[in-house]
Every structure is written in C-alpha cells, then in structure tokens.
C-alpha cells in the first residue's frame, strides 16, 4: 500500500477517535463551561442607573482656559475659623474671582452657599471641568437642631476686622446719607459746640433707646472727576453717642468725642448691618471708572486699604464685584516726532503730547454700594495705586 494512503488512514482514524470521545462525554462535563459564564443572580446585578462619575482631580484633563487652578491647589481642605472666602478661593484658583464658575451647589447640604468652620471642600472634576464640592458632616441627619447654622458663624468673604473701623466712621458720605441721616439739633445748655458727657437733642428718624451712633461732620463736596457732579461729601469723624430717650426730638448722651460736635452733625449707626458673605465675581456689565478718594487720606494706596469709586448701583456694581486697577499713564512730550526730513531740526514738533498706556497695578473688591459711589477693598497691589487711577472689569 502507498505511504500516502497510510497517512490518510491515520488522519481519518484520529478524527474518528476524537469524535467518539466527544460523543461519549457526560452531560455535566459538556455543560460545565457554560455554568461559569452564566450571569449572576438578579440581586447581584449592577444598578440600572449608575451614580454620576466624579473622579479625582489628579487623573483629569486640564480645566478650561478661563479657570486657572493654582499649582498648589489641594484636593481636600477643612475650613477653619478665621478663614475668608477670598483666601480659600485664592488657595484653589489663580484668579479667585472665578470662584462661582467652579462652585458646585450640593442640594443635600443645608445653606450650600454658606461655608462654616469644619466644612470640607473637595476639588473634583465633573465632565472634565473642575468643581469644588462641599461636604458637611451632618448632611444625612434630619435633626433641625443639628442642621441649623447661625448666619453670623459663616465665614466672611473678606476680613471683617479690616473694614469694621471704616463702617462706623467712613471718610466719605454718599449724598443720601449726608442729607437725610438723623442730626444733632441742639444741646440742653444751648451751646453751639458740644463735648463728651453732654446731653443733646436729635431729630430726623427713629432713634430707639439704647442705640449707639457715630457722629459725623459733613465736610467738603466730593466731585466726579469725569463729570464735575457732586457724588458725595467728606465725612469727618466726631465721636459716639447713645440714645437716652426716644421721641421727636430724642435725647442722646455724647459718650466720647475726638473733636467738638456741632449742631447739624449727622448720626450714623455704629455697626451698620452689611452682609459679609457675598461671592467674589466679575461684574455682569462693563465698568470703567476711577478711584476718587481713599480712607485715611494716604497718597499711595496698598493692599487692604479702602477706596471710594465714582461708580455705584446705577452703573451695575454690587457687593462682591471684582475690578482691576490701572495706573493712569503719564503725559509726555514727543521730542522726536517730525513732519519732514529727520535731518532738519526745524521740522521737529516739540509741542506734541502723548499719553502713555495705563498699566495694571492691582485689583479690588467692592463691599458696599450706593447709587453713585461704592467702597472697595484693595485685595492685591502689584505696584503703587493712586487717587484717580482707573478701575475696569478683570482681564
């Protein structure tokens, strides 16, 4: 027989043997592999609607260009007593006023817009964008006594102690305050000037017994450098007074004075109720104005000093709005401009004046707003800032 026939016979025999082996397998053995790939019982299957995926910041792509995270931004931060929203924002962001763009409002948290000592802030990414999520230890508890947080315990946006002295004795009064606040009418002795320990009578509003007021003398007018319009008045601090008896007129006792009090001096609440938990953000409308005054009368303005702007609520400003400050460029003579041959000195225009570009010098946060003026706190100063410097929307 041919060797090729023998090979074919051997292959056929082997195939027959394999087929016979498969046919002789028991049912349990043939179904064993199938048992290993069966799906798990219904109780062990994954939920039909998975929770949103929130991944750690470290493994996510870079955020959009408008929100620049700080190189040292933590993944987790526990809020401490004495923190301010500005400081926390600066910890996470290069530009703290972009805080609203990364703040994630958790509906399960009581007062999610307010932050308290002990709260935990986590930097996460949602759909590739950076977010700050608030965790509060009692979010799963239902007791209203535990979930209640007094508003005055929430962290403030800027340091209250920096502006507190100004609130009781502002150096600039808006027109409404200067013209319509309660005022000293006369003294019991009939004197024109009054000192500490003197009882005086006052009119011009509801003066409840026990209330304390700062006494302000209305000084010179403050004009808008652009329009020449009166937008406020110089405020000169005089002293403090306490209401002894209400009525019209009411009786007040001058408890302390830094200078003589005069009839007509205005009474301002010693501790005006000003919300301090506003959010730093750019204005919604285009703003361009000027610094028209500075508290304490210094000539060179630095960080954490209070300034007055010639823009207010009628221009769209609100507490929390951030503005960049630009030092106005000097006006110089161009001695090299010419209208003819550069070799002929008679062609030079020696009287041509050129205004140099304004240069960025810092930023401020608006914290109190009136119709035509507002008060701002300088947050950063990269160079000297002066009265009449320009303020604009952040870059």
Q: Cβ distance 9 to 17 under 8 Å?
A: no
Compute the distance between CA of residue 220 and CA of residue 7 in angstroms, rounded to an integer: 120
pLDDT above 70 covers a percentage of the chain that reads: 74
State the pLDDT confidence band at 359, using cuts at 50, 70 and 90.
very high
Dihedral angle, C-alpha 374, 379, 385, 389, nearest 10 °: -40
Enclosing H/E stretch for 339: none
**pLDDT of 275 strictly over 90:** no
**pLDDT of 356 strictly over 80:** yes
Distances from the Cα of 315 to the Cα of 156, 222, 225, 273, 287, angstroms: 25, 18, 16, 23, 7
Whether the upstream peptide bond of residue 249 has omega within 30° of 0, thus cis, is yes
Q: pLDDT tens-digit profile of 310-334?
A: 999 999 999 999 999 999 888 888 8
Once rounded to an integer, what is the mean pLDDT over residues 143-160? Answer: 61
CATH number of 288-392: 2.40.10.410
State the pLDDT confidence band at 7, using cuts at 50, 70 and 90.
very low
Q: pLDDT tens-digit profile of 114-130?
A: 899 999 999 998 888 88
**pLDDT of 165 strictly over 90:** no
Reported pTM: 0.69
Domain boundaries, the chain: 55-153, 162-269, 288-392
**pLDDT of 58 strictly over 50:** no
Q: pLDDT tens-digit profile of 83-98?
A: 999 999 999 998 888 8
Q: pLDDT tens-digit profile of 222-259?
A: 999 999 999 999 999 999 999 999 999 999 999 999 99
**pLDDT of 371 strictly over 70:** yes
């Amino acid at each position: 027989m041919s060797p090729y026939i023998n090979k074919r016979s051997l292959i056929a025999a082997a195939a027959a043997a394999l087929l016979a082996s498969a046919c002789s397998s028991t049912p349990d053995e043939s179904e064993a592999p199938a048992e290993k790939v069966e799906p798990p019982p219904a109780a062990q299957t994954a939920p039909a609607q998975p929770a949103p995926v929130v991944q750690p910041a470290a493994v996510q792509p870079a955020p959009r260009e408008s929100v620049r995270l700080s190189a040292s931004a933590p993944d987790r931060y526990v809020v401490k007593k004495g923190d301010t929203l500005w400081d926390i924002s600066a910890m996470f962001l290069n530009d703290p006023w972009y805080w609203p763009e990364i703040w994630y409002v958790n509906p399960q948290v009581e007062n999610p817009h307010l932050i308290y000592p002990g709260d935990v802030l986590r930097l996460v990414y949602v759909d590739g964008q950076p977010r700050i999520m608030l965790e509060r230890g009692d979010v799963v508890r239902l007791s209203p006594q535990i979930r209640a947080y007094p508003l005055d315990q929430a962290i403030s946006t800027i340091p209250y102690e920096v502006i507190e002295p100004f609130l009781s004795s502002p150096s600039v009064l808006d027109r409404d305050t200067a013209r319509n606040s309660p005022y000293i009418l006369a003294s019991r002795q009939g004197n024109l000037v009054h000192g500490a320990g003197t009882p005086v009578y006052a009119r011009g509003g509801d003066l409840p017994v026990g209330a304390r007021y700062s006494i302000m003398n209305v000084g010179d007018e403050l004009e808008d450098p652009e329009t020449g319009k009166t937008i406020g008045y110089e405020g000169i601090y005089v002293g403090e007074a306490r209401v002894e008896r209400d009525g019209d007129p009411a009786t007040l006792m001058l408890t302390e004075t830094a200078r003589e009090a005069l009839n007509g001096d205005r009474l301002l609440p010693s501790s005006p109720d000003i919300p301090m938990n506003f959010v730093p953000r750019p204005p919604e409308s285009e703003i361009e104005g000027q610094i028209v005054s500075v508290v304490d009368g210094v000539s060179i303005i630095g960080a954490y000093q209070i300034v007055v702007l010639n823009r207010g609520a009628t221009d769209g400003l609100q507490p929390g709005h951030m503005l960049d400050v630009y030092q106005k460029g000097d006006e110089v003579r161009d001695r090299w401009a010419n209208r003819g041959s550069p070799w002929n000195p008679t062609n030079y225009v020696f009287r041509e004046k050129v205004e140099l570009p304004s240069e960025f010098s810092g930023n401020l946060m608006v914290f109190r707003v009136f119709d035509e003026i507002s008060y701002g706190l300088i947050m950063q100063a990269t160079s000297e800032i002066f009265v009449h410097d320009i303020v604009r929307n952040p870059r």
